[in-house]
Amino acid sequence: MQRTLIWDLPTRLFHWTLASSFAIAWLTSEGDRWHAVHVFVGYLMLGLVGFRVLWGFVGSHFSRFASFWFGPREAFDYLRQVASGHAARHVGHNPTGSLAIYILLALALTVGFTGITTMGGDEQQGIAAGWFSFSQIRLLKKLHEAGAVLMLLVVITHIAGVVVESVLHKENLARSMVTGIKLAEPGTPVASSHRLVALVMLVTMLGFGGWWFSYTLVPQADRPAVKFVGQQLPDNAQWREECGSCHAVFYPALLPARSWQKMMAEQDKHFGSDLGLDAATTQAVLKFLVDNAADRHQTEAAFKIDRSVASGDTPQRITETPYWIKKHRDIAGADWANPLVKSKSNCAACHLDADAGTFEDGAMRIPKAPAAGTSGPQPAAAKP
Ligand code: HEC
Ligand code: HEC
């Protein structure tokens, strides 16, 4: 037996980058704060899978699919050998390990694509923005989550397999995936290290990362701290003027069209005021309200508010829709009493993007009450 290069450099680089990307994707899967990182590693994984499939045909001997083209039956036989403690040693991938690789590649593809479509539907962002509506995306989102859980299970099984195999054949398999070197019989095909391919891979990944995160390096006044602040919704100057004089404007997507129709029809009794708009203005403002109402599902909030309101109801207050109540019922009384908040309708006190109408998770926070006796910080501007 002699020390032989089995795993070429691109295969090792692929393996460890995929493993780290997967771990990072898990750690960043909750909340919008790390969304940009989550999406980045998602794209990275898709790119890596694409590379690995190609490398399975043109890579060095033990990286080629032809060298580990085992079926489930061989994998099962191998498991039986392992159970009896007399498993044959494979210099390349063993039959169960091979199966894990194919399953992982397929799952990574599935999770990557459903991730892109989920982002396109749920946040209306990324390359699939606009492909699906919020309601259509629910199944794809479930698939994305289920695929990730399945992948985690296969990864755990894979690691367990590596440990068992390492003990069984008294060799450190994880280390050989770092060094590429294993003990092998003379005559075993020796891998070429393919340094140039690995270098191109590395430069491509670093370049992609640099480009993706470049926005964090150049601070700009009009650029938000969180990259994903949402889409740009349609705007209307007349609506802003007529509906923003007594209170901050409430974006049309926060109530269904029938609520706006009723509100404009009864504009002389608008919460104790008479809006007094002439017919032409009423019609123009109503058109903007209806065109962008919750029923249009332009944002996640619109979709969820619309689904929460019973079809016969025409709520006149956003703060009385079931979705709004559900989302805000855990906020403490002291936070509502905060002089920076004062009223439930003061959306902008907690939602930095209230004026833009998007109500993204990343743009909300509860302001701290100023200490007694001090003037305290001023309420945040409504502009995101
Ligand atoms: C003359 C002043 C005035 C104008 C102009 C005005 N409103 Fe209001 N609006 C009020 C008052 C007062 C309330 C009740 C505020 C409260 O109780 O918190 C209110 C409340 C609302 C609410 C309910 C907010 C909630 O609690 O969910 C909506 C929605 C609303 N207005 C929409 C509009 C629209 C649309 C326009 C333009 C067509 C408009 N308003 C123009 C005075 C006005
Ligand atoms: C006191 C602060 C506060 C005020 C005022 C407030 N909100 Fe919120 N809002 C929150 C918090 C906190 C959450 C997140 C709740 C959670 O964790 O699910 C939230 C969640 C939401 C969501 C859900 C976002 C999503 O991801 O689906 C919407 C929509 C929303 N608010 C709309 C409004 C509107 C419209 C107003 C004004 C009429 C308003 N909020 C006023 C604090 C506030």
Which protein residue's CA is at the shortest distance from atom 12 of ligand 1?
271
pLDDT at residue 130, rounded to an integer: 75
pLDDT at residue 122, rounded to an integer: 76
State the Cα–Cα distance between residues 56 and 93, nearest whole angstrom.
Answer: 13
Average pLDDT over residues 232-251: 94
Q: Kindly tell me if the per-residue pLDDT of 196 is higher than 80.
A: yes
- Which two three-digit tokens encode residue 168? 């069984």
Span from the CA of 88 to the centroid of ligand 2 (angstroms) = 60
Q: Kindly tell me if the per-residue pLDDT of 52 is higher than 80.
A: yes
Q: Which ligand is nearest to the CA of 242?
A: 1
The single residue listed with the structure tokens 């629910």 is 138
State whether the beta carbon of 334 lies less than 6 angstroms from ligand 2.
no
Q: Kindly tell me if the per-residue pLDDT of 216 is higher than 80.
A: no
State the Cα–Cα distance between residues 104 and 96, nearest whole angstrom.
Answer: 12
pLDDT at residue 166, rounded to an integer: 94
Q: Kindly tell me if the per-residue pLDDT of 21 is higher than 50.
A: yes
Q: What radius of gyration do the chain's Cα atoms show?
A: 28
Q: Kindly tell me if the per-residue pLDDT of 361 is higher than 50.
A: yes
pLDDT at residue 19, rounded to an integer: 97
Q: Kindly tell me if the per-residue pLDDT of 226 is higher than 50.
A: no
State whether the beta carbon of 274 lies less than 6 angstroms from ligand 1.
no
pLDDT at residue 138, rounded to an integer: 84
- Which two three-digit tokens encode residue 374? 């001090």
Q: Which ligand is nearest to the CA of 367?
A: 2
- Which two three-digit tokens encode residue 117? 């479509």
State the Cα–Cα distance between residues 137 and 204, nearest whole angstrom.
Answer: 31
The single residue listed with the structure tokens 């296969």 is 154
pLDDT at residue 31, rounded to an integer: 65
- Bigger pLDDT: 354 vs 215: 354
pLDDT at residue 152, rounded to an integer: 97
Candidate from 149-153, 187-191, 284-288 with smallest mean pLDDT: 187-191
Residue 227 banded pLDDT, cuts 50, 70, 90: very low
Angle, CA 115 vertex, CA 109 and CA 118 arms, to 5°: 140
Give the nearest ligand 1 atom to 243 CA: 37
State whether the beta carbon of 345 lies less than 6 angstroms from ligand 2.
yes
Q: Which ligand is nearest to the CA of 269?
A: 1
Residue 230 banded pLDDT, cuts 50, 70, 90: low
Residue 367 banded pLDDT, cuts 50, 70, 90: confident
Residue 75 banded pLDDT, cuts 50, 70, 90: very high
Q: Kindly tell me if the per-residue pLDDT of 258 is higher than 60.
A: yes
State whether the beta carbon of 319 lies less than 6 angstroms from ligand 1.
yes
Which protein residue's CA is at the shortest distance from atom 17 of ligand 1?
271
pLDDT at residue 345, rounded to an integer: 94
Dihedral (Cα; 94, 100, 104, 105), 10-degree rounding: 40
The pLDDT tens digits of the residues spanning 81-114 come to 999 988 889 999 999 999 999 999 999 999 999 9
